[in-house]
């Protein structure tokens, strides 16, 4: 992508409305724009990051055996009357009428709809286990939307729903998502700690929130500090192994970890003082096992091996991609801007032409840009006629992991500089060496 032809409306000044660093940097880097309170557009740079986050979420959901579909944002109130949640869900639900005066709503979550899909076509235990997910916009009319897309009214959620014949099988499904979440957050460059959680309006028996430690987090959390160094389940984790997944779950729940709603002061005080971590955190994922809470009222049942009908045991599993993007920034930035983990960076490399219009600089940059593109890299080429200082500041602000800098003096020697955004380390090398480093 040539910056001269891109749309990346960066800001020099700090926007006044932004209270936390991620919100400030997302606005300054031109990633998002507020359209009305708690409702955002994702501008091209932000959209690139969001897409990369979603791609990782999707890969790990698929690896764990979940199947993607897409359900609509608008739902009929009838389904929610069946489950009893139409009245129970308060003002957070945006209720709408269509032209025939039929009550509709903008989905805050999809348990009812997915249960309806399930009951209409699954009739036998032989079709279980089943886990269906989508990545879709949700709407919750939050009292205090704030911190940009961290807590917005319209936001994106990956929500998965599992269906099983028995509660034991449902626990295995829960453990699959538990392990998939550990892997997902790790690949996003985050350390998320599963904490026992309240089941809230979704209801149910077993629930964990995945929390990232951050000073600006809205939750107060308490945990054993060893969680920070625990191993993440590997790429070859066998998601069909009941015992293997139970062992992962047992390990990751073996030490104290709870949010303030579930906090047990006495249990926490039993942790040796030097191992106690009491901090603030951001909830980036939440998983629930709720048994037959929806399948019973909505009549979602299958025939078991005993020939009888059984209400299915369900769980639901949410991750917030539009919250994860600012959460990643909270965890990874410096005074100059964002520092993206390579896995979600909007571009892999930015090529900075320090003197656009200078034949040697232009030729060198074009050569590098073409070679890296050909190798399948996402490259941003700053070919604008801005001053070098402005270009450096922009490159640092948007946080692309690698900068290749071509200035007239180095280029005259057949060289460029390669800068690592995270460490700030700069290395001078030949043009060929710079290309080979990233093309290998
Ligand atoms: P919170 O406690 O932060 O209000 P929640 O418990 O109501 O969130 P869940 O129903 O558990 O949210 O939703 C699953 C995930 O969706 C959350 O873990 C979070 O990542 C994301 N999410 C929920 N509400 C919002 C929001 N208003 N803005 C952005 N992401 C959200
Ligand atoms: Mg939650």
**pTM score of the predicted model:** 0.97
Q: How far is the CA of 298 from the centre of ligand 1 (A)?
A: 25
The pLDDT tens digits for 176-188 are 999 999 999 999 9
Average pLDDT over residues 326-342: 97
Average per-residue pLDDT for the chain: 96
- Indicate if the pLDDT at residue 200 is higher than 90: no
- Long-range CB pairs of 369-377, under 8 A, 24+ apart, other chains included: 371/435, 371/439, 372/348, 372/435, 372/438, 372/439, 375/438, 375/439, 377/348, 377/349, 377/438, 377/439
328 in the same domain as 371: no
**What is d(CA 51, CA 102) in angstroms, rounded to the nearest whole number?**
35
CATH number at residue 119: 3.30.930.10
Which of 315, 338, 361 is where one domain is finished? 338
156 in the same domain as 19: yes
Pocket test for ligand 1, best of 39, 209, 283 (most atoms within 8 A of CB): 283
Atom of ligand 1 nearest to the CA of 157: 16
Q: Considering the chain, what percentage of its residues have pLDDT values greater than 90?
A: 96
* pLDDT interval class at 202 (50, 70, 90): low
Q: Whose CA is nearest to atom 12 of ligand 1?
A: 286
Domain span at residue 354? 349-439
CATH number at residue 380: 3.40.50.800
Which of 310, 338, 366 is where one domain is finished? 338
Residue 70 within a domain: yes
The widest CA-to-CA distance across the chain, in whole angstroms, is 81
Q: Are strands 103-106 and 74-76 parallel, antiparallel or unpaired?
A: antiparallel
140 in the same domain as 29: yes
200 in the same domain as 80: yes
Q: What is the dihedral of CA 57, 58, 59, 62, to 10 degrees?
A: 120
Q: What is the pLDDT of residue 15?
A: 92
- Strand, coil or helix: 197: coil
* 8 Å CB contact between 368 and 351: yes
Average pLDDT over residues 92-98: 97
Domain count, the chain: 2
The pLDDT tens digits for 377-429 are 999 999 999 999 999 999 999 999 999 999 999 999 999 999 999 999 999 99
* pLDDT interval class at 198 (50, 70, 90): confident
Q: What is the pLDDT of residue 197?
A: 85
Atom of ligand 1 nearest to the CA of 218: 3
Q: Which of 321, 388, 356 is nearest to 157 (CA)?
A: 321
Which of 291, 307, 338 is where one domain is finished? 338
356 in the same domain as 289: no
The DSSP symbol for 151 reads B
């Amino acid at each position: 992508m040539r910056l001269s032809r891109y749309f990346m409306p960066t800001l020099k000044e700090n926007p006044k409305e932004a209270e936390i660093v991620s919100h400030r940097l997302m606005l300054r880097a031109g990633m998002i724009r507020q359209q009305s309170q708690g409702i955002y557009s994702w501008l091209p740079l932000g959209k690139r990051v969001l897409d990369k986050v979603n791609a990782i979420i999707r890969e790990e959901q698929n690896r764990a055996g979940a199947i993607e579909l897409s359900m609509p944002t608008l739902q009929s109130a009838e389904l929610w009357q069946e489950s009893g949640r139409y009245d129970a869900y308060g003002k957070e639900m945006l209720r709408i009428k269509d032209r025939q005066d039929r009550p509709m709503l903008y989905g805050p979550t999809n348990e009812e709809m997915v249960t309806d899909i399930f009951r209409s076509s699954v009739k036998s235990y032989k079709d279980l286990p089943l886990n269906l997910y989508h990545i879709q916009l949700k709407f919750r009319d939050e009292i205090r939307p704030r911190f940009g897309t961290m807590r917005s009214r319209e936001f994106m959620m990956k929500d998965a729903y599992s269906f099983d014949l028995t509660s034991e099988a449902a626990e295995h499904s829960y453990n699959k998502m538990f392990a998939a979440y550990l892997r997902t957050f790790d690949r996003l460059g985050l350390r998320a700690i599963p904490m026992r959680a309240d089941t809230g309006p979704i209801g149910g028996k077993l629930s964990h929130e995945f929390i990232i430690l951050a000073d600006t987090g809205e939750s107060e959390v308490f945990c054993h500090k060893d969680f920070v160094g625990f191993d993440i389940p590997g790429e070859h984790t066998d998601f069909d192994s009941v015992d293997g997944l139970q062992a992962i779950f047992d390990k990751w729940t073996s030490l104290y970890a709870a949010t303030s709603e579930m906090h047990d002061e006495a249990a926490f005080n039993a942790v040796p003082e030097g191992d106690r971590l009491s901090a603030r955190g951001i909830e980036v994922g939440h998983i629930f096992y709720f048994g037959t809470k929806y399948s019973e009222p909505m009549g979602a049942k299958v025939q078991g091996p005993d020939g009888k009908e059984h209400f299915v045991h369900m769980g639901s599993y949410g991750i917030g991609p539009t919250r994860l993007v600012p959460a990643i920034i909270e965890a990874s930035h410096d005074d100059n801007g964002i520092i993206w983990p390579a896995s979600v960076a909007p571009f892999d490399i930015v090529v900075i032409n320090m003197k656009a219009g200078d034949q040697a600089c232009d030729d060198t940059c074009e050569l590098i840009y073409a070679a890296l593109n050909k190798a399948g890299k996402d490259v941003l080429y700053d070919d604008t006629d801005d001053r070098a200082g402005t270009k450096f500041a922009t490159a640092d602000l948007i946080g692309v992991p690698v900068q290749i800098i071509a200035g007239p003096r180095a280029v005259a020697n057949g060289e460029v500089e390669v800068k690592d955004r995270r460490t700030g380390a700069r290395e001078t090398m030949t043009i060929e060496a710079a290309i080979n480093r990233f093309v290998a």
